Structure 1
């Protein structure tokens, strides 16, 4: 189970939810022309544009399993169980970034140190560690640890940048995930080209991931699979805006010996939120097995469609999602490569699963309290059927453990949240978010029945 970062526990209405617009969304066609300016021609210099800053995040979570579900941990060599798990970590990022050197080819460096301080160190509370709290082989919390989160060199010509080293990357298939005290990052080479007014290209080749709660680099593996690892992830795609109101993305990725995956996403805006605005979002993934088929046979089509209505302070979103395939819709672990509208506490991505979500948002800026927002949602998934999953024999036959037991499984999820961003003063842009989520599942649904309260405070700071 993954807790999506798109909304800090996915309490934003969806990745393409209705937002407030100051004027009606234009439906004008956007011609593709060369970019009017060159970013490199405006470079200020390696030292002249140097910056030093970062963020510190206080991340607290308390979970409770029910309907017989328990967490396990070791004490005195014995396995013990308990319904509750608590994680409390202070994560701090210190980022030093130079400017680009002047000239035809600009050069820049970026270095970020990540530090985690564990505030709740009880073995019983953290339940032996997870992707929330780093623990040693005995299940004891590692009280404090640090690592290089980012370390890269960037080269820029005009509006095209090549980045080599440990870095952030964002696309519909490979995306940095930041829903813990610290985010993930990737080791490899990537490029971003914005030479046209409404058309950009991105690509990358990565061989390692720096996980959210680990000190070392790891090979890539899938979120839902059998632990198989891969040495290489390659991705290429584009972002295109044909209309002022329409944005699209198209990406492909090869995960060596796992799968080839293809993604298309589109968001269209219509109307004026002071009267009535409509945001339509569509996300589609095609996944097929590749190479040695470490994840077994895969032939999966998954999509989501969302409709968001906004009127002044209020927004209402409806989202439908469907998985067409006898395996999970799967994606890379330690990435946020799932832009589906119903990726919440549960991803609603079971074999042949259908799901529907309704969500409401309230922006208190319309009532004189800018920065204060409330969200509530309800989602339901049904028709989960893994009985036709066959794998491909050999060690990948059971790549998805327990999937064949899922026959007519269903689940429901409810969530409510409040967030506030400080608008001015020395703590400007500090974000505070509280969320409560309850997920209720049938016997063999993968995520189980669980309740979680989460409180996250993120404070940005600038030194230079």
Structure 2
């Protein structure tokens, strides 16, 4: 890691530590109150049947000669515009835990998708955001078991086996489409201590957002499409002070990489006057096993500082990749907690990026649930010319740059039969130099999510 990068990280950690030292230290101890398992009411007594339905629309337009290419009944075509419109519905049944020292429960969730736009010329691709057949035509309606698992709990520790949701900085459910992803394997979550929790998981398949079948894991930025049979993660979340939370995780992706993560979030001040939120994320990635992704030695970090005064928040974020390859993560996961992961991830080889974001919360002005936001991000110094492997297509990147602008609004209904219904609209533009991979594109998204309870 370069000296300047070390200095930024050292300054970030020392600043967080200095602010934390002004607060009262929280000693670690076992939770003294009743455990979650001792308070369970029973398998049927706490069962729920609930879900969500999401209307997801996206309209993309490539600019300056960019084209989407696709197969329309055996004929290769191209178009500058791509439209996806899908209705995704989740019906989720969860039992309660049985009573006793060891409690057991089950969870089953059916996922269903309906393609509201089925024109191959609009979809313009295979399984990108709308499930398609090989000829490029949309699958009009499809369903699958998104979740199907058994859980066992002792005290405040739960073991989950089967298809499940799981959240960590490297393997995390991604829910930015009509339906979310999920993972097949074993997961463990423990909260036996007052300020210390543990997570662990090992998974052999992922259930993609826009596919019916399970898939092996592959990386988001691989140029070769190699796959792996297993991804495992373990980590700890520790809160040493009231306003400081830290996380430390290690992940092993078989024959791909070992990835290590450290994160820290600190809140200071009073948002009614002036509050400061500081968020540090750091990833270290190195190759392992048969090196199916080639040689990897990558350090990537982001530092975000958000200032809040009443309804207004302004955030400044710096991010840097130190390595001749992408900062990479697993496809169909949200395993990238970096501050500048936006429409573009700003994760090119040796890339530096900076973002300024603004959010106004209209609750302060009598309209609770309504927010407006805008951001501008810029990346520079993207250089993959020294990359010697073949897993990533980066050698043509020589001092590339790109920028991204976005405006958006969201509203969450506060009461009544549609309470918690969320509506979000965003318009984003991305512009890039010749060999930056994301290209020139405009995108409009409109997403409406309605939760419901049956039981």
TM-score bracket relative to the smaller structure: over 0.9
Structure 1 spans left out of the alignment, 5+ residues: 1-25, 392-397
Q: State the alpha-carbon separation in 1 of the partners of residues 73 and 273 from structure 2.
A: 64
Matched, 1:250 2:241: no
Q: State the alpha-carbon separation in 2 of the partners of residues 299 and 195 from structure 1.
A: 36
Matched, 1:399 2:391: yes
Q: Equivalences for 1:326-365 in 2 at 5 Å? A: 326-365=324-363
Shift of residue 76 of structure 1? 4.8
Shift of residue 68 of structure 1? 1.3
Match of 1:450 among 437, 441, 446: 441
Q: Equivalences for 1:153-192 in 2 at 5 Å? A: 153-192=150-189
Q: State the alpha-carbon separation in 2 of the partners of residues 128 and 179 from structure 1.
A: 18
Count of residue correspondences: 433
Q: State the alpha-carbon separation in 2 of the partners of residues 229 and 43 from structure 1.
A: 41
CA deviations 1:281-328 (Å, max 9, x no partner) are 100000000000011000000000011000000000000000000000
Match of 1:417 among 408, 411, 433: 408
Q: State the alpha-carbon separation in 1 of the partners of residues 76 and 425 from structure 2.
A: 32
Indicate conservation of the 8 Å contact 1:28/1:245, yes or no.
no
Q: State the alpha-carbon separation in 2 of the partners of residues 74 and 302 from structure 1.
A: 37
Report the secondary structure of 1:191's partner residue.
strand
CA deviations 1:18-74 (Å, max 9, x no partner) are xxxxxxxx9332111101221000011001111001000000000000121100122
Match of 1:81 among 75, 78, 88: 78
Report the secondary structure of 2:452's partner residue.
strand
CA RMSD of aligned residues (A): 1.0
Indicate conservation of the 8 Å contact 1:385/1:409, yes or no.
yes
Bigger drift between 26-35 and 241-250 goes to 26-35
Match of 2:373 among 362, 372, 375: 375
| Structure 1 equivalent of residue 17 of structure 2 | none
Q: State the alpha-carbon separation in 2 of the partners of residues 300 and 75 from structure 1.
A: 40
Q: State the alpha-carbon separation in 2 of the partners of residues 258 and 233 from structure 1.
A: 9
| Structure 1 equivalent of residue 318 of structure 2 | 320
Report the secondary structure of 1:420's partner residue.
strand
Report the secondary structure of 1:365's partner residue.
helix
Q: State the alpha-carbon separation in 1 of the partners of residues 215 and 70 from structure 2.
A: 24
Q: State the alpha-carbon separation in 2 of the partners of residues 292 and 443 from structure 1.
A: 34
| Structure 2 equivalent of residue 4 of structure 1 | none
Indicate conservation of the 8 Å contact 2:111/2:144, yes or no.
yes
| Structure 2 equivalent of residue 48 of structure 1 | 45
Shift of residue 129 of structure 1? 3.0
Q: State the alpha-carbon separation in 1 of the partners of residues 127 and 91 from structure 2.
A: 24
Report the secondary structure of 1:340's partner residue.
coil
Indicate conservation of the 8 Å contact 1:230/1:255, yes or no.
yes
Report the secondary structure of 2:395's partner residue.
helix
Report the secondary structure of 1:125's partner residue.
helix
| Structure 1 equivalent of residue 28 of structure 2 | 32
Q: Equivalences for 1:52-71 in 2 at 5 Å? A: 52-71=49-68
Q: Equivalences for 1:254-265 in 2 at 5 Å? A: 254-265=252-263
Report the secondary structure of 2:122's partner residue.
helix
| Structure 1 equivalent of residue 99 of structure 2 | 102
Match of 1:434 among 403, 406, 425: 425
Q: Equivalences for 1:118-129 in 2 at 5 Å? A: 118-129=115-126
Q: State the alpha-carbon separation in 2 of the partners of residues 160 and 75 from structure 1.
A: 51
Report the secondary structure of 1:322's partner residue.
strand
Q: Normalized against structure 1, the TM-score is what?
A: 0.92
Report the secondary structure of 1:405's partner residue.
coil
Q: Equivalences for 1:222-237 in 2 at 5 Å? A: 222-225=219-222, 226-237=224-235
Shift of residue 130 of structure 1? 3.1
Looking at both structures, which has the greater relative contact order when contacts are Cα pairs under 8 Å and sequence separation is at least 6?
A: 1
Q: State the alpha-carbon separation in 2 of the partners of residues 165 and 149 from structure 1.
A: 11
Matched, 1:210 2:190: no
Q: State the alpha-carbon separation in 2 of the partners of residues 128 and 143 from structure 1.
A: 15
| Structure 2 equivalent of residue 23 of structure 1 | none
Decide whether aligned partners of structure 1 residues 218 and 76 sit closer, same or farther in structure 2, where only a CA change above 3 A counts. closer
Report the secondary structure of 2:121's partner residue.
helix
Q: State the alpha-carbon separation in 2 of the partners of residues 131 and 243 from structure 1.
A: 44
Indicate conservation of the 8 Å contact 2:73/2:135, yes or no.
no
CA deviations 1:397-449 (Å, max 9, x no partner) are x1112x00000000000000000000000000000000000000111101111
Indicate conservation of the 8 Å contact 2:26/2:241, yes or no.
yes
Q: State the alpha-carbon separation in 1 of the partners of residues 271 and 196 from structure 2.
A: 27
Indicate conservation of the 8 Å contact 2:287/2:293, yes or no.
yes
